[in-house]
A and B are shown apart, each in its own frame.
Chain A
Amino acid sequence: MGIIMENILNFIQVMVLLPLILGFAGMMGKGKAGMLPVFFTFSMLSYFLSSVYYLVYGFLRPGERMPFAVNEIAECAMLLLLCAGLETFLTRDMIGRLTAMLFAVFFVGINIILWILWSGEWVQDIVFGLPYIYMLYLLIRGNIHYKTIGMVEGHIAMYASLMVLLLQMFTIKATGTLRFVVDRGSYLVAYGLALWLFWSCKKALQESGVKAIFLTATLFWWTIMVMYMSSGIYYDIAEAMNILAMPLLYFAMKKEVGERDLC
């Protein structure tokens, strides 16, 4: 049942990504859009290939575990190309680089340790975890610089994300009812944070393109992290959220390109 649901969601993801890729590609070379739509188009193309690879693998080799996940390379490509797109908004002289890097290394580092504990694939988890660190670093810098959210909200989000990690770590040792409560508690906080980001994105989409891009990219990143923290039905819910975040990314880009043309 779980695999069927996963495949259905993957298929929906492919179907959602196709028009998005065409939409992003349509913005390429238009007005003052620059490299931004190019990076986003190829980023989504990578994600599309990753989903297609996963579907094809499941169809051709059902039940067989991948000895080396090629689709994770595509996910790396997706993240790196998104990073390249986000880099266009950031300059080297911006403040808060060290703080952002320290938090990104700490947060994703703990996640990588948890992935290793769950899967045992330490080389793969470390190598493929690096783009997540870099993207979080850019997202923190961008969100701070463009003031996408208030100071208090930002701090609450930071502590909430750390709380998710703490609870996830606790589930490794906890047993019985305690484990159940802690596990569900961590999902509650993780999904709550995602819902809050959805709401913030909706607000940002009415305000400014840059703000919307950074917030939707943060939501997109967060839903992927939640996917990797979850299992079973919770994984499917996180994947559904991730699929919903993709059109928001497109609308944010459309707004930004539109604003640039007005300038």
Chain B
Amino acid sequence: MIYAENILLCIAMPLVATLLFLQSSAKRFVFSFLIGMMVCLLSAYIGGFLEVASGMSKEDVAIFLSPVTEEAMKFLPILLYLFLFEPDEEWLLLTSAGIGAGFATFENCCYLLMGAKSLPYMLVRGAAVGIMHLVSMVALTLGLNLLRYYKMVRFSGILGALSLAMTFHGLYNLLVSVDGIPSYIGYAMPVLCALLLPRQLKRFKEFTRE
């Protein structure tokens, strides 16, 4: 049996070595990518614990509890980074994109371990999940940057934005849990958001420059 920890080590080791040769934004992105993968593993541990503690089925945990734990776990490093180092908007966005991409990559790898389905299915699932984690992180960071711009970084705003990301994730998980049309709608959701997000990012940059 291949354990998730082994997969993490296999992917992480070359990336850790890469850090020695990279500089500036590339180094930061690879580092946050590694953090994202570790956060994914920790989320899986928490998910496993909750499955045992709550007595829910694996599917119910994935639909109802995973969105909460995963989004909270992904958000924690960003929040720590924000409050400890007070990075500028670009750095924060880069870090969140790295965490989102690392999380999605490792989750896809673990999904492969559970028994890969057909190539087209893996393509669709990989793209949708990959985009979903990335979109939720980038959107959250965009929200954080907006709060900082207006000097309104407060508990209610941050928690509200996080809860919104959890709901989006929860709706996605609910839709893809059923085969057929609901899962197609679920897969399309993050893709549509990903198409809208770059425009919003551009709008935000223009707005803050004014």
* A residues in contact (CB < 8 Å) with B: 29, 34-35, 38-39, 42-43, 45-46, 49-50, 52-53, 56-57, 60, 66-68, 70-71, 73-74, 76-81, 83-84, 87-88, 134
Contacts and interface: CB of A to CB of B under 8 A. Distances in A.
A73 B163 contact: yes
B174 A81 contact: no
Could you tell me the dominant secondary structure of chain A's interface residues?
Answer: helix
Interface residues of B, number: 34
Contacts of A77: 159-164, 166-167
A68 B56 CA distance: 10
B64 A67 contact: yes
Contacts of B161: 42, 77, 81
A80 B160 CA distance: 5
Going nearest first, the 3 A-B pairs with the smallest beta carbon separation are: A77-B163, A80-B160, A70-B170
Contact of A83 (B68, B146, B156): B156
B207 interface: yes
Contacts of A76: 159-160, 163
Contacts of A38: 146
Contacts of B56: 67-68
B157 interface: yes
Interface in B161-201: 161-164, 166-168, 170-171, 174-175, 177-178, 182
B205 interface: no
Contacts of B64: 66-68, 70
Given A42-B161, A46-B160, A88-B152, A73 B68 contact: yes
B58 interface: no
Nearest to B152: A35
Contacts of A80: 156-157, 159-160, 163
B170 A84 contact: no
Given A68-B65, A70-B174, 8 more contacts: A35-B146, A42-B143, A42-B160, A56-B174, A67-B64, A73-B166, A80-B157, A83-B156
B47 interface: no
A60 B172 CA distance: 13
Nearest to A80: B160
A84 B182 contact: no
A241 B167 CA distance: 25
Contacts of B65: 68
A20 to B, nearest CB: 16
B67 interface: yes
21 contacts: A35-B147, A42-B164, A46-B164, A49-B164, A49-B167, A49-B168, A53-B170, A60-B174, A60-B178, A60-B182, A68-B65, A70-B64, A70-B171, A70-B174, A73-B68, A77-B167, A80-B163, A81-B161, A84-B152, A87-B154, A88-B152
A49 B150 CA distance: 26
Contact of B160 (A34, A43, A56, A70): A43
